[in-house]
Structure 1
Amino acid sequence: MRSGQIRHRPDLLIPVEGATVAATRYEPPGEDGPRPVVLIATPYRKDDWITFGSWHPSIEYLARSGYEVVVADLVGTGASTGEPTPFARADGVQMATVVDWLADRPWTTGRVGTFGLSYGAWTQYATAAAAPDALGAIVPVSVAASGYDSSYTGGAFNPLKRAVWATEFRARQALPPGRRDEAGRWARVWHDRLDRLEHERPWLFRFLEHDLEDEFWAERRVEPGEVAVPTLAACGTRDVHTASMVPFVEALDAEKRLIVGPWRHRMPEQGRETAIDFRRRAVDWFDRHLREDDPDRDPGGQSTADLPPVTYWTERDGGWTVGAGGWRGRDRWPTVGTHPTRAFRVTTGGLELAREPNGETGDGDPGEAGDRGTVVREREYDHTVGMESLDRVGGVENPGVDTSADDARSMAAESAPLEDAVEFT
């Protein structure tokens, strides 16, 4: 890990089709010379304090590990010009241009990796699908590779997750760029954006208009076969995107490692007792794929080459404390065979039990009537239940781990006492 000052250059302007991407370069301390690059692409305004504060520990760690770190505003956000297209493959096409541009700079070795959480992970999938030659490795954390999956669950719109996001996204659009340069570029970018917003249909309405997975969402989806670069992925069992992310990573043909911990929507090193040195592992991943023969490569710490394909945290009674669980390694996920069955199906007459011909529950025949059972109690749907992972109401980014408020408003099933101990993963 290098000591010394990290030099900060907030004035990179990178041309892409129809727009200019604004980026900030963080130079590693030490002697000048070409270095590999780690790109972080975000729609959350790179120059805002909340964004910088969230990313700065990772930026500093990567830079002190010998990497040029470049943080870029996506097209139409922050200090970048153009019109944004949230969760669209255009993000990847534009960032692929940025990757190639960075690879051509004299201060780089021509090798680029990407790093980021949430939307900053979506851009990595989309960039990998665009297949720029210089892209050597990606490190996505907590994201769905499908805009539809991240907006709808089983065909039902996720109001708090996507509605809050879309509203916040539009509010950020109305703000001036976070850094006011002396030449006044920031004012021109802001003025043009306000003109566009006056006539632009809010993205929330567009998401709601497409409640089926149609062509709109096809442009907001990446398939596993399109990602051919080495991938170190992480997500949390309490995160809203894990159900989509895990099978996507499992389906990748590229070299991959998946880490699943008991986290919410956050970076793995920000956990509590189950926190891991994820930044160290990310640096090792980049070292292996971007600096294979570099004498400056840091051999310290556990090599990601030694990790099993899937590393996951398993819990027992006691919550998040170390004594209540432990890390496991497996060759695949799920770790045991599973057989999903449909317990209910929706019909014009209401919710019905799905029955196989032999009387067991299963997929059922939509043409046959099922057993409707008995309505014991009716409740209004409360879409806030279970959404603490992304709930920012009142400015609380990561609320406490006490979920009793959620539990009291949740539907639960209780079995007879178990005869043997059970691990939850």
Structure 2
Amino acid sequence: MTRELSIVALIISAACTPSTEPPPTVEVELGQCRERSTTAFDDVSIRLLHIPMRDGVRIAVDLVLPDPLPEGDKLPAILTMTRYWRSFEGDGASAVQRFFATRGYAVITGDSRGTGASFGIWPYHRAPDETKDFGEIVDWIVEQPWSSGVVGGFGTSYTANTADWLAQNNHPAVKAIIPRFPDFDPYADLYFPGGIFHVAFGKGWGEAVKEMDLNVPRGDPPRGVKPVGDGSLLEMTIDARRNVPGVFEGLSQVTFRDDRPEVWGVSMLDWSIHTHLEDLERAGTPMFTWGGWFDAGTAQGVLHRFTTLANPQKAILGPWSHGGGYHASPYQPPDFATTPSREEQLFESLCYFDHYLKGRDNGTPEKELIYYTLGEEAWKTTDVWPPPGFDKRRYYFSENESLASEPPSSTSGSDHYTVDFEVTTGTSNRWFTQRGGADVVYDDRKDVDTRLLTYTSAPLEKDMEITGTPVVRLFVSSTTEDSAFFVYLEDVDPSGRVLYVTEGHLRALHRAISDEDPPYTMLGPHHSYMSKDAAPMVPGEVAEIAIGLHPTSVLLRKGHRIRIAIAGADKDTFTRVPESGTPSWTIERHSAQPSHVELPIRERP
């Protein structure tokens, strides 16, 4: 999809809006804050160097400064740490580095320990040494003659995670972070949503970063990582990594959150930022977090962070693929421009850093969530989540594959489904975009729905907005002890076209609802995914399966119909559950066991 500059967006205020009245519309200029830093320098300089750590390991960084920098000028710094190579061989300063440096920032981009041109070993995400390095790099920054003593963390995807880990160090010089599309809960938001292994990403990403760590050339034309100096040290760093197990080897040994693969020696809890929220909150570091409705579970992570942490927070949830490069709303044509544009996204970040790193009073709020409503194609803003004015409404599974607004009165009723392991959402879905930020495109799902178990409502009598976390509760029996449940919320238009809205998952093994305090504010059912809570199904016995779908905001128009579609596989994306055998399910839909979906809705007049 194409990209273009769009300076003004419509923001609809959702805060304190009564449910019977539509929210008022106001204009907000995205990236147009007061006293925004302007281009004050014509050029930049770049310096490549190794920074020694406490144990002698040397971390490769690129230092980009405004050029010429007057003697005595002091600059705030923006630090980005990556495991995807800080730059390719032959590259100069990147467009992002130039953007910030020409506006009066020092920009430091580094290869995380054990990656790129840095020395050391990268055994798994957020190893303790990797996180400690970030604090020592900040120590180095504040000692430089050009430093104002103030640092911000910035990044997208993995570098968003390192921005979080930077703040976790509680370094007094770190005044703000901007994590764009991070993995707040990597188990539930990315690798094992619903406890089901996202094998397409785990395998593909794991193999790709292993090749990068061995400096296998990539791109067109193929190039390796940019060395520090003449490159004589680079081969030494690569030799030390050759026998390090790839991340996929560890992921393949995980079923539960607390599993500790031998190749790691730790569990995913140890390298999840949500496990370290006390550190983040103690620091009080302001954070501006980005996520996309169509980017794996990043939107869910943004909302969990926003509703849990007391830190000053700005957040934005758009209709995006991973990284915000593509507009993925199913209600727009494939060539619809992403909004805000890449340039506007940078200006939004600049405004945030200007406020917290340069001390400018530019109108940056202490707490704000900007979100996009699909179908309406409008931006809205709130300071609480869920936004006020929404009611929970249940639609019950009923006979003839229908969704009924009234609970069933019959004492019997059920539907049968045999899992089809060949069904798929394709390879342009919300999960595949995590590898490189590709576009997200769901084709008309009318044909694939014939292979799923579906329940469809009558045409809506009014426009209906759904904003929040839909929850599906199934009363179901199976012929096997384990299954994977995939549930899709869809919009069926008057022509019969079926549009994807969102989805949820749950592996039956993880179906237990935990009564322990959750690690963060839960927006749906609390499944711990811990080994102690494993609950295999008893074949032939009815179990309650509660599935929280990924949050969304969508306007369904009058005359459209709501559909819930249920599958037992998504073959191109997720691992097969169970590994062998074909489950047959019976879903109950009667007065004693009323399977249903609960939607957070607001009807429009």
TM-score under structure 2 length normalisation = 0.57
SS at match of 2:60: strand
Deviation digits for residues 194-231 of structure 1 (CA, Å, limit 9, x no counterpart): 3xx2xx33221211212211151121122333222000
In the alignment, the residues of structure 1 paired with residue 372 and residue 79 of structure 2 have an alpha-carbon distance, to the nearest angstrom, of 29
**Which residue of the partner structure matches residue 234 of structure 1?**
290
Deviation digits for residues 134-180 of structure 1 (CA, Å, limit 9, x no counterpart): 11100001122233222111111111122211111111112166224
Deviation digits for residues 76-127 of structure 1 (CA, Å, limit 9, x no counterpart): 0000011113322523222122122212212211110010011111111122
**Following TM superposition, by how much is the alpha carbon of 1:268 offset from its aligned partner in structure 2, in angstroms?**
6.3
Q: More deviation in 104-113 or 16-25?
A: 16-25
Which gives a bigger RCO, structure 1 or 2 (Cα 8 Å, sep 6+)? 2
Structure 1 residues 14-413: aligned runs within 5 Å: 14-17=52-55, 19-32=57-70, 33-48=73-88, 56-90=94-128, 91-149=130-188, 150-175=190-215, 178-180=225-227, 181-182=229-230, 184-194=232-242, 197=243, 200-214=244-258, 216-223=267-274, 224-227=277-280, 228-240=284-296, 241-267=298-324, 272-276=337-341, 277-292=344-359, 303=362, 305-306=364-365, 309-316=368-375, 324-336=376-388, 373-380=414-421, 382=423, 385=426, 388-389=429-430, 391=432, 398-399=438-439, 402-404=441-443, 408-409=447-448, 411=452, 413=455
**Following TM superposition, by how much is the alpha carbon of 1:413 offset from its aligned partner in structure 2, in angstroms?**
4.5
Q: Identify unmatched segments of 5+ residues in structure 2.
A: 1-38, 217-223, 259-265, 328-335, 398-406, 467-552, 554-605
- 8 Å Cα contact 1:261/1:268 also seen in 2: no
**Following TM superposition, by how much is the alpha carbon of 1:18 offset from its aligned partner in structure 2, in angstroms?**
5.6
SS at match of 1:123: helix
**Following TM superposition, by how much is the alpha carbon of 1:273 offset from its aligned partner in structure 2, in angstroms?**
4.5
Deviation digits for residues 214-250 of structure 1 (CA, Å, limit 9, x no counterpart): 1511211223332220001111111112222321232
Q: How many residues align?
A: 380
- 8 Å Cα contact 1:13/1:22 also seen in 2: yes
**Following TM superposition, by how much is the alpha carbon of 1:384 offset from its aligned partner in structure 2, in angstroms?**
5.7
- 8 Å Cα contact 1:7/1:27 also seen in 2: yes
In the alignment, the residues of structure 1 paired with residue 436 and residue 155 of structure 2 have an alpha-carbon distance, to the nearest angstrom, of 21
- Percent identical among aligned pairs is 20
Deviation digits for residues 267-325 of structure 1 (CA, Å, limit 9, x no counterpart): 46989242252211211211111111xxxx6x8xxx45148611111122xxxxxxx52
- 8 Å Cα contact 1:76/1:84 also seen in 2: yes
SS at match of 2:456: coil
In the alignment, the residues of structure 2 paired with residue 235 and residue 29 of structure 1 have an alpha-carbon distance, to the nearest angstrom, of 34
- 8 Å Cα contact 1:12/1:22 also seen in 2: yes
Q: Identify unmatched segments of 5+ residues in structure 1.
A: 317-323, 345-358, 361-370
Relative distance call for 1:397 and 1:312 in structure 2 (3 A) is closer
In the alignment, the residues of structure 2 paired with residue 26 and residue 125 of structure 1 have an alpha-carbon distance, to the nearest angstrom, of 22
- Higher percent of residues as helix: 1
**Which residue of the partner structure matches residue 331 of structure 2?**
none
- 8 Å Cα contact 2:428/2:438 also seen in 1: no
In the alignment, the residues of structure 2 paired with residue 311 and residue 383 of structure 1 have an alpha-carbon distance, to the nearest angstrom, of 32
**Which residue of the partner structure matches residue 353 of structure 1?**
none
* RMSD (Å), alpha carbons: 3.4
**Following TM superposition, by how much is the alpha carbon of 1:381 offset from its aligned partner in structure 2, in angstroms?**
5.7
TM-score under structure 1 length normalisation = 0.79
**Which residue of the partner structure matches residue 463 of structure 2?**
421
**Which residue of the partner structure matches residue 349 of structure 1?**
none
SS at match of 1:121: helix
**Following TM superposition, by how much is the alpha carbon of 1:31 offset from its aligned partner in structure 2, in angstroms?**
3.0
- 8 Å Cα contact 1:143/1:242 also seen in 2: no
Relative distance call for 1:273 and 1:43 in structure 2 (3 A) is closer
In the alignment, the residues of structure 1 paired with residue 123 and residue 172 of structure 2 have an alpha-carbon distance, to the nearest angstrom, of 24
AA in 1 matched with 2:203: A
